[in-house]
């Protein structure tokens, strides 16, 4: 649906005087004779301007048009809301699959979300980057990119989110970067001393004590 207000470059509450003034300015600028002199034979712009003025300068036609425009916009809003709800659902599934270690399924959802963000020119949240990175890392799909995503997430969240930091801590322990993991672990405990996941990770990667036999046989 054509937006006549945008065509005439006036607000939707424009007065008749404003509409008329804008029409004459645009008609003069895009008149077919003037365009022809400039080597442009496209008359569609002028036709749209004339059509817009015809509708908006007539009180009854404008009223009828405004009602149609309102319904059209409401329709767009509803469709947009449905799309956003669909992608919100994708994200919930991606997070759930990541937590359940179903990394392949999670990554498929993350990829769809990544394309959606690019299309909308929208930056992914730190939480999104963290869980996507976690899935990439622990699925062994792309450990390097996964670690980078998790690291970026921690930085962009200003070291304030426990789960985001714990994702990176677990990855650090996994690749033997114990010092970095322990340093970040302190931040988590400062925020929430009773964080159960933090201590579960700590226990999981806690160095095992060597037995007497191991010491005698010099086992690692």
CATH code of the domain covering residue 53: 1.10.287.110
The answer to whether residue 155 sits within a structural domain is yes
For residue 128, the domain's CATH number is 1.25.40.10
The answer to whether residue 73 sits within a structural domain is no
pLDDT tens-digit profile of 7-58? 999 999 999 999 999 999 998 888 888 767 766 666 788 899 999 999 999 9
Distances (CA, A) of 181 to 12, 29, 157, 168, 218: 57, 66, 17, 8, 27
More confident residue, 39 or 72: 72
pLDDT beyond 80 at 218? no
User: Average pLDDT of the chain?
Assistant: 90
3-class DSSP state of 191: helix
The boundaries of the domain holding residue 199 are: 123-220
Number of structural domains (the chain) is 2
The answer to whether residue 83 sits within a structural domain is no
For 172-202, b where at least 16 C-beta lie within 10 A, e where not — what string?
bbeeebeebbeebbeebeeeeeebeebeebb
pLDDT band at 146 (very low <50, low <70, confident <90, very high): very high
């Amino acid at each position: 649906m054509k937006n006549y207000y945008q065509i005439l470059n006036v607000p939707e509450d424009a007065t008749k005087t404003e509409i008329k003034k804008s029409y004459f300015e645009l008609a003069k600028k895009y008149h077919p004779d003037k365009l022809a002199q400039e080597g442009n034979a496209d008359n569609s712009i002028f036709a749209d301007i004339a059509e817009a003025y015809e509708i908006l300068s007539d009180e009854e036609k404008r009223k009828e048009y405004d009602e149609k425009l309102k319904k059209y916009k409401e329709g767009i809003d509803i469709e947009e809301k449905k799309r956003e709800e669909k992608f919100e659902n994708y994200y919930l599934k991606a997070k759930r699959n990541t937590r359940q270690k179903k990394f392949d399924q999670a990554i498929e959802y993350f990829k769809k979300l990544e394309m959606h963000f690019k299309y909308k020119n929208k930056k992914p949240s730190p939480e999104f980057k963290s869980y996507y990175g976690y899935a990439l890392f622990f699925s062994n799909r792309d450990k390097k990119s996964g670690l980078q995503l998790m690291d970026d997430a921690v930085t962009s969240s200003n070291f304030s989110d426990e789960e985001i930091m714990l994702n990176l801590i677990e990855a650090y322990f996994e690749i033997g970067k114990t010092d970095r993991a322990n340093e970040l672990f302190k931040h988590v405990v400062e925020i929430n001393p009773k964080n159960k996941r933090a201590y579960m990770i700590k226990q999981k990667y806690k160095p095992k004590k060597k037995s007497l036999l191991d010491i005698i046989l010099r086992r690692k």
